Chains A and B, each alone.
Chain A
């Protein structure tokens, strides 16, 4: 129960919660009192004395941040006596503060500057007592420019009392006190957990994020947690990792399932762009976000489904074409929004690329089909082996909206001489045939053209099918290959020969069948303004690789409809949508999601597209489009993270990789999920960048009803 009390501030009646300070009461009522050492998330400190007010009756002056508001109080925030103290205080603060505001990266975002502006005063009368400390740039992530410190003590309180880490402290030397790290240690050495709380609460430019750390092209709140921002589905990464660090695996799964319906699949095959931007990477190495997801998913008991909300029936029907990751995701969220969904799948099994594109040694069929079953179980109807040739017709068959999510499943080939010869295949052919355990004829010497993940998937699949001699060539050099570094390394271990920097002149044949590929070496290449490839061929002779099978892994084309119904077709056969929308250009109730609109992308992008389509279609059908849900409440105590010995030195763990012989002898998963101990240790490495979001942003005087002083 909150009791309220009333008091008077500047003759204005103010009501506030019992127990609030005078300052809180005033700010709440829109009355601005200058303050610097006060921060809403920190205990009061009474250091700056700017917040003084006069108690009218007693004539005493008190600091409003640390004095409790009491019923019936009558206070003045700007009596002459108050002004005198406040002015002296700001003069004293500026007597040791550098004058070069405009040179400070915090310029215009600085609380001190704002207070001074409000008071119309900076000092200049008193003697300057410079500190002349140079900026400390030695630490990862943060700059400590203590020359600008006003010793408000906020960072110390945040570090000590909010986080329980206690790295920053008051330090004393012969000349006096300062804020620092005792012993002038590096932050990491002193036990810093790089949570950023100190930077967040610092009112001045003394503690800052290093330049470029905060991505200023996205909203600040999002930029604070780069991994989540980068994840196309915006999974709440730090939150699930924190759960894992505490050993609460099921809770971790619940957090993941708030945003995506395929936890284990993603844990195995996601391209994890999140890890590229993980802040821990700047301390030593990024957190293994993806492997931790896989680990968590192993503990999925489905208990989170109890909290899942399925809204009441809307009687609206949606048809989804294609049961790949995009289609399944869209269907899942639409059913949750109360719509009835039917998926039409051309093949006899759902999953799309998950089922037929990704080799089993990366993602086993059991996992894909189990997760798909889980999704369908929410009440999605699926019609297999149904080829939709005209999506528009579905609208006349009782559907209120259609989502096309047919993906990009037609392998393309480079149109070089000989590309139609016998023995030329596409990677997709190989991968799908393998997934179906079907026969596909390949020779003894295979030459793969392409350097992306699919090329490597294909090479490694063939290796597992017993092919001994596999050459893989691509245009890019080793560093720029599109496939992930691990993929390349593992393929090399498995005996696949990789030839970077090649261009392909022709396929050599005996008139009918492939006998080799003629290549030239490329020095460099670029794309001109029309996106046309420009190459510089290296001097020297062309080389012919002898082979009996050539496989193109140079991308896939989107799969559209026999009857295009007037849709606009773009590059690589994609369907074009309205700007910032999933709705197909020139259609009314037909939407598209996933590779069909973007061309081949990653699974997580398809899932994100499925989510976006679900939101839009829900709105189209009269809903709110609010598919986000909280499957687990946030824990109040999370912000107190405490100390961990040697935190900055904790090394990234990698999953155990099977030995090569075991790998190539079948389609076993190549890596093993973390054992419990490793997973916890890895989870502990996270900096928990999201905690910083919970610290309130201090509002400046101009967001209150305040009049600045005349200068």
Chain B
């Protein structure tokens, strides 16, 4: 499964990802086998059988299966999905399922690639979750820049409604579920769970400290199950067959003009993945995990495993699984400086450290690269 492109734009346009190379295709199982989010093809490839199986079970049993599978939230923190589901299921009153089908970092193309290659898996996962926790409304959130994706998802939902897979009496059961796609009103509305929940509720798009768990008080203060798109896309497989926890990663090797997205089993080592994907590990000066939110590592750490805890503990950002290879020609300081430029521009803007602290670090690094820095600044 590889795809070498000159630049990011092409990458988004073509999605010719060959899934045969994936070691263990779970989320990418149907990628490259549909002519573009066609519902008939999805069904022919076994789509919605996870939902069908779920509807045959009690909601509690569905949750049990999720618990047993060991599925963890792939958006970052790796919180066990089963726990989230059962805590939502334990709540009364109206409930929502909210998922963010966008990336907060512009260089991360994993989510858009998922949308273009197979949007149904995540939708199916959302519906299974809805059945399990007794919610009737799912909301898919998109950034204000994702116009094409908005149309793709809307069309997919339309096809599902037409095929009686969405709405009332889903698959001839008495399960009822609908999904809305909502696009952010401005580009401040993006990123983290709390920002998205607040945006949806018409509140200013900033983070909040000391807030209750979304399962207890999420959207409009109601119990809300929030998952990343990738987590939801993993759900159908759990109800279909034996499941293995995987992660979609984006490999970027700028000097070799390579950007590719691949699905790897949790616990694979980064070095091995590079080798399997034909990216040479010779001449690596450093690599980063997590884009502008992550960290830089020396080549000795290539043995690091793709694993929630390992990556996060090491300072990477597991949710933003972009692995960038830096070779001889690239400057590490420039790279870090760029990360801070992005962080300061993209931060929600609420707290002064996030906003001005990152800006200050960026300015300082800029001075350092120009050799005009004042050492006073380093005394904190």
Contact residues of A with B, CB < 8 Å?
A: 44-49, 63, 66-67, 84, 88-89, 92-93, 95-96, 125-127, 129, 150-151, 153, 156-157, 160-161, 166, 169-178, 182-183
Q: Are B352 and A126 in contact (CB under 8 A)?
A: no
Question: Using a CB-CB cutoff of 8 Å, which residues 172-220 of chain B contact chain A?
Answer: 185-188, 202-206, 208-210
- Binding-face segment, B151-159, B251-259, B267-275, B358-366: B358-366
Nearest A residue to B206 by beta-carbon distance?
Answer: A170
Q: Chain B residues near A170: list those with CB within 8 A.
A: 188, 204-206, 348-350
Q: Are B345 and A176 in contact (CB under 8 A)?
A: yes
Given A153-B206, A170-B348, A176-B349, A182–B186 Cβ distance below 8 Å?
Answer: yes
Per the bound structure, the CA–CA distance linking A675 and B212 in Å amounts to 50
Q: Chain A residues near B209: list those with CB within 8 A.
A: 44, 46, 63, 66
Instruction: Fill in one digit per residue for B327-368: 1 if any A CB lies within 8 Å of its CB, else 0.
Output: 000000000000000001111111111011101100110010
Contact residues of B with A, CB < 8 Å?
A: 185-188, 202-206, 208-210, 344-353, 355-357, 359-360, 363-364, 367, 376-377, 380
B258 CB to closest chain A CB (Å) equals 27
In addition to A84-B380, A92-B360, A153-B206, 12 A-B residue pairs with Cβ atoms within 8 Å of each other are: A45-B206, A47-B351, A88-B357, A92-B357, A95-B360, A126-B377, A151-B355, A157-B204, A170-B204, A172-B346, A173-B187, A176-B355
Q: Chain A residues near B186: list those with CB within 8 A.
A: 169, 171-172, 182-183
Per the bound structure, the CA–CA distance linking A175 and B349 in Å amounts to 11
Q: Are B353 and A89 in contact (CB under 8 A)?
A: yes
Q: Are A176 and B188 in contact (CB under 8 A)?
A: no
Given A46-B351, A47-B350, A96-B356, A129–B185 Cβ distance below 8 Å?
Answer: no
Q: Chain B residues near A160: list those with CB within 8 A.
A: 203-204
User: Among the listed B352, B364, B380, which residue makes an inter-chain contact with A93, where contact means beta carbons less than 8 Å apart?
Assistant: B352
Interface of B is mostly: loop
Nearest B residue to A89 by beta-carbon distance?
Answer: B352
Q: Are A175 and B345 in contact (CB under 8 A)?
A: yes
Nearest B residue to A182 by beta-carbon distance?
Answer: B186
Leading 7 A-B pairs by shortest Cβ distance:
A177-B349, A92-B356, A172-B188, A46-B209, A127-B363, A176-B345, A172-B187
Nearest B residue to A183 by beta-carbon distance?
Answer: B186
Per the bound structure, the CA–CA distance linking A160 and B352 in Å amounts to 21
Per the bound structure, the CA–CA distance linking A582 and B367 in Å amounts to 74
Q: Chain B residues near A151: list those with CB within 8 A.
A: 349-350, 352, 355
Q: Are B203 and A177 in contact (CB under 8 A)?
A: no
B187 CB to closest chain A CB (Å) equals 5
User: Among the listed B203, B210, B347, B355, which residue makes an inter-chain contact with A66, where contact means beta carbons less than 8 Å apart?
Assistant: B210
Per the bound structure, the CA–CA distance linking A605 and B376 in Å amounts to 67
Q: Are A177 and B352 in contact (CB under 8 A)?
A: no
B379 CB to closest chain A CB (Å) equals 8
Given A127-B367, A170-B205, A170-B206, A177–B355 Cβ distance below 8 Å?
Answer: yes
Q: Are A45 and B360 in contact (CB under 8 A)?
A: no
Given A129-B359, A153-B206, A174–B351 Cβ distance below 8 Å?
Answer: no
**Can you list 27 A-B contacts (CB < 8 A)?**
A45-B350, A46-B210, A46-B350, A49-B351, A49-B352, A66-B209, A66-B210, A67-B210, A92-B356, A93-B356, A95-B360, A96-B356, A96-B359, A125-B376, A125-B377, A127-B360, A129-B356, A129-B360, A160-B203, A166-B202, A169-B204, A170-B205, A170-B206, A172-B346, A173-B187, A174-B345, A177-B348
A160 CB to closest chain B CB (Å) equals 6
Q: Chain B residues near A183: list those with CB within 8 A.
A: 186
Q: Chain B residues near A177: list those with CB within 8 A.
A: 188, 347-349, 355
Q: Chain B residues near A95: list those with CB within 8 A.
A: 356, 359-360
Q: Are B345 and A169 in contact (CB under 8 A)?
A: no
Per the bound structure, the CA–CA distance linking A316 and B353 in Å amounts to 69
